[in-house]
């Protein structure tokens, strides 16, 4: 076995597959361009490091179960002028994670709450943090089933272990039992004690949360944790989906009008 083959085999044994795959090509480029040994080594390590980072990010994104891939810069702030863009840009620095600050997006369905919540969580995942997404309804139903199956102590880590948790559409479906409300509180409280920021979207005003949870005391305890040092957006703009519907209606009307001429 030649020295080249031995090095490639050793890289493969060490599970440095990206470096092993690029070793020969990079070595030839180093010879042609007269790189120093340090230059060659730095570039070979960079190839492996990039591959490892990409693989770990892909794993974090799969785990997070984000419903879509959206960016902060894709958000149309002109369409929703009630949103403080400077504050969103500050959140995009992820300082809210270090400062352990919850983030709440309040507004009617379709106003962009979930877009911004997911975009921030994606930025966190790209920075190396673990994130997770769930609707409020799915989260509590999952925990009730886990409790029934005797695996609640393990399952709750799905929601309490990630650095950033997005709980979407809180209040869209009213909780159906005291057990669901209790699990919601348990998750929020555990995250609060750990200092893990929770991002919540809701289409209901905070005074309505007693109705959502069926218990004003539980609702107050949940809000106490979520609102402590929180960043709150009250989005008062229209729905994106209704705008798209109106645009479609206009386009269809115009097309029909042209057809009758």
pLDDT above 80 for 258: no
The confidence score (pLDDT) of residue 242 equals 54
> Quick check: 67 and 118 in contact, CB under 8 A?
yes
pLDDT above 90 for 17: no
Question: 235: part of which helix (H) or strand (E)?
Answer: strand 231-235
Residues 6+ apart with CB under 8 A from 249: none
Looking at every residue in the chain, the average pLDDT score rounds to 89
Q: Please state, in angstroms and rounded to a whole number, the distance separating the CA atoms of residues 124 and 17.
A: 27
The residue-averaged pLDDT of 116-126 equals 98
Question: Nearest CA to 174 among 205, 146, 147, 210?
Answer: 210
pLDDT of 215-257, one tens digit each?
999 999 999 999 999 999 999 866 665 555 444 344 444 444 5
- Evaluate the CA torsion angle 154, 158, 164, 165 in order and state its sign: negative
Q: Crossing angle of helices 3-13/17-33, nearest 10°?
A: 150
The confidence score (pLDDT) of residue 11 equals 77
- Proportion of the chain above pLDDT 70, given as a percent: 90
The confidence score (pLDDT) of residue 163 equals 98
pTM score = 0.83
pLDDT of 182-200, one tens digit each?
999 999 999 999 999 999 9
pLDDT above 70 for 164: yes
The confidence score (pLDDT) of residue 251 equals 40
pLDDT of 43-57, one tens digit each?
888 998 989 999 999
The confidence score (pLDDT) of residue 245 equals 44
The confidence score (pLDDT) of residue 67 equals 96
């Amino acid at each position: 076995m030649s020295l080249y083959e031995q090095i490639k085999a050793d890289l493969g044994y060490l599970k440095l597959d990206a470096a092993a795959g690029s070793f020969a090509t990079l070595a030839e480029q180093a010879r042609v361009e007269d790189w120093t040994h340090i230059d060659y080594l730095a570039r070979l390590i960079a190839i492996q490091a990039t591959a490892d980072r990409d693989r770990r990010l892909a794993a974090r994104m799969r785990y997070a179960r984000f419903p879509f891939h959206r960016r902060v810069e894709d958000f149309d702030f002109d369409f929703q002028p009630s949103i403080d863009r400077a504050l969103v840009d500050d959140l995009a620095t992820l300082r809210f994670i270090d400062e352990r600050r919850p983030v709440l997006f309040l507004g009617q369905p379709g106003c962009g709450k979930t877009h911004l919540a997911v975009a921030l969580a994606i930025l966190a995942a790209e920075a190396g943090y673990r994130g997770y997404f769930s609707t409020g309804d799915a989260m509590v139903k999952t925990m009730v089933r886990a409790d029934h199956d005797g695996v609640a102590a393990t399952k709750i880590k799905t929601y309490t272990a990630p650095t950033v948790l997005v709980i979407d559409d809180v209040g869209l479906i009213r909780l159906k039992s005291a057990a669901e409300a209790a699990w919601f509180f348990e998750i929020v409280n555990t995250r609060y004690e750990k200092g893990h920021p929770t991002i919540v979207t809701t289409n209901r005003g905070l005074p309505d949360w007693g109705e959502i949870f069926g218990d004003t005391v539980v609702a107050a305890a949940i809000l106490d944790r979520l609102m402590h040092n929180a960043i709150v957006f009250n989005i008062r703009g229209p729905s994106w989906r209704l705008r798209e519907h109106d645009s479609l209606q206009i386009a269809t009307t115009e097309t029909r009008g042209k057809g009758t001429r």
